[in-house]
């Protein structure tokens, strides 16, 4: 099952409601939440839901104002989730600290095959790209 809630201005209240629903849902595999601007509150709710959700394979959080603090909140949920295969964090102001939080959470993760960080931060140096590649694609 695929649910596209992109461009709905969900903000923090909507993101919290979606996150709470994810705790109970057993059929949703693809959740597109891009361009909803929910920031740290949405990341916090998702972090609580991801460890208990066993069906979600694709999560698109493009352009949701997720900064390094939001990444810190999201990271524990990512680390504990056992079903996610694709995580898209494009166009979020994660910064280097936020990217590191996400990478550490996903390092050694057995199911994640793709991490989207396009224009998420100034990750442009060769060294940083190498670190991203090693962290995401190591098994």
Q: What is the pLDDT of residue 77?
A: 97
CA atoms within 13 A on the CB side of 73: 17
Neighbour-count burial of 8, counting CB atoms closer than 10 A to its CB (0-12 exposed, 13-18 middle, 19+ buried) = middle
| Cβ–Cβ < 8 Å for 94, 120 | yes
pLDDT in tens, 60-109: 999 999 999 999 999 999 999 999 999 999 999 999 999 999 999 999 88
Given a cut of 80, whether residue 121 has pLDDT beyond it is: no
Taking only the tens place, the pLDDT of each residue in 27-71 is 999 999 999 999 999 999 999 999 999 999 999 999 999 999 999
Q: Which domains does the chain have, with CATH numbers?
A: 2-137 (3.80.10.10)
Q: pTM here? A: 0.87
Confidence of residue 119 (pLDDT cuts 50, 70, 90): confident
CA quadruple 42, 83, 93, 117: dihedral, nearest 10: -160
Q: Would you say residue 124 has pLDDT above 80?
A: no
Burial 90-112 (b: 16+ CB within 10 A, else e): ebbebbeebbbbbbebbeebeeb
- Rg, Å, the chain Cα set: 14
Res. 130: pLDDT tops 60 = no
pLDDT for the residue 13 = 86
β-pairing, 58-60 vs 30-32, is parallel
> What integer pLDDT is reported at residue 133 of this predicted model?
54
């Amino acid at each position: 099952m695929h649910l596209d809630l992109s461009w709905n201005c969900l903000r923090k209240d909507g993101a919290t409601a979606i996150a709470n629903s994810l705790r109970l849902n057993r059929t949703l595999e693809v959740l597109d939440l891009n361009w909803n601007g929910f920031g740290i509150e949405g990341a916090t709710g998702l972090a609580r839901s991801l460890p208990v959700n066993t069906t979600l394979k694709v999560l698109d959080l493009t352009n949701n104002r997720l900064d390094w603090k939001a990444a810190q909140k999201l990271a524990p949920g990512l680390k504990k989730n056992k079903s996610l295969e694709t995580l898209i964090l494009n166009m979020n102001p994660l910064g280097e600290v936020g990217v590191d939080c996400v990478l550490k959470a996903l390092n050694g993760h057995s199911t994640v095959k793709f991490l989207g960080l396009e224009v998420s931060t100034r990750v442009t140096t060769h060294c940083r790209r190498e670190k991203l590649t090693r962290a995401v694609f190591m098994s």
